[in-house]
Structure 1
Amino acid sequence: MLSALLVVMIGAAIRFTMPARRPEHTAGYRALLASLPRLVRDIPVLRRRALYHACLFGSFSLFWTVVPLLLTSDAFEMSQSGVALFALAGAAGAIASPIAGRMADRNRTRSWTRIAIGCVLIALLAAALAPAGSALGLSILVGAAILLDFGVMTNVVLGQRAIYSLGPQLRARLNGLYMAIFFVGGGVGSALGGFVYAHHGWTAAALTGAVLPVLALGYFLTERHD
């Protein structure tokens, strides 16, 4: 109920404060949909940013799919309320959004993309090494959750900033493609995490999540920078 109330308040604020925006294109809805594959083919920035974030969001989804199973297991024996408080602590990573926006405006997207990928990698490695069933282990997991959220939020903002700069007439389609591609990565990460955890346990699942930012970093290093 509180969430619904906040959504109504946000909607009212948007209605009275946001300027009207009318897209400049004249194409119909079917033509716009038909143009999507061509945009993916012809715009390398979209492909890169989407694939970077597909890897990072895959790690994010893997972590948040599996960590509740770990916390409610015999290792920590936490209740659902305890898991909810853990997730709330992880939400502190949302402070990344304004920071990432400022860095992108200062043309520091490339260096902060490295930072974002590094944060996700370090978070998953730390989570894999957290000793189960101890206060130290729980503290490491909380820190990993915050760092993970920080890295993922930073990268998504950097990606949106990069694709939005390609032209106002393309923004809606580019953003739709960007989110669709990285949510596929999130789905893969979630499914993979559950499978690995069920068969090999927490450490193996977290290390599997760490592989994804390594893949993103490898692809990032092939990016030309003039």
Structure 2
Amino acid sequence: MCTLSRAPQDKQHATRLTRGLITLFAFSCGAIVANLYYAQPITELIGPSLQMSSGSASLIVSLTQINALYMTSIFVGGGIGSALASALYERGGWTLVASVALAFPLIAFIHFLLVGRMPRPSNT
């Protein structure tokens, strides 16, 4: 039988977040987000050198921002899902985890059956 193991509560091996480390993390996060916007002012200069119109070049910046939003939602959703699964496992084991995991697609399917078949309003 598989059991979840917890990290030892040894305070000697615990990593402390110092003020300098927090500053480094904050600067790194700011630089990553700013990287999405660096190309916006120069897209009209970059586009012709790549044989692209200015609209196509600016589309690249927009798609990069959409991709960043998508990846952020993937990482946040994965963390929330992992935390939820761990809490469910501690309360009811794999049976509860599997039951909740099965409930989500069933709710979506029932929603599709009820709302997806509603008559659409006419445009006339």
Same fold per TM (> 0.5)? no
* Normalised TM-score (structure 2): 0.38
Question: Which structure has the larger Rg over C-alpha atoms?
Answer: 2
* Normalised TM-score (structure 1): 0.22
Q: Which has the higher contact order (CA 8 A, sep 6+)?
A: 1
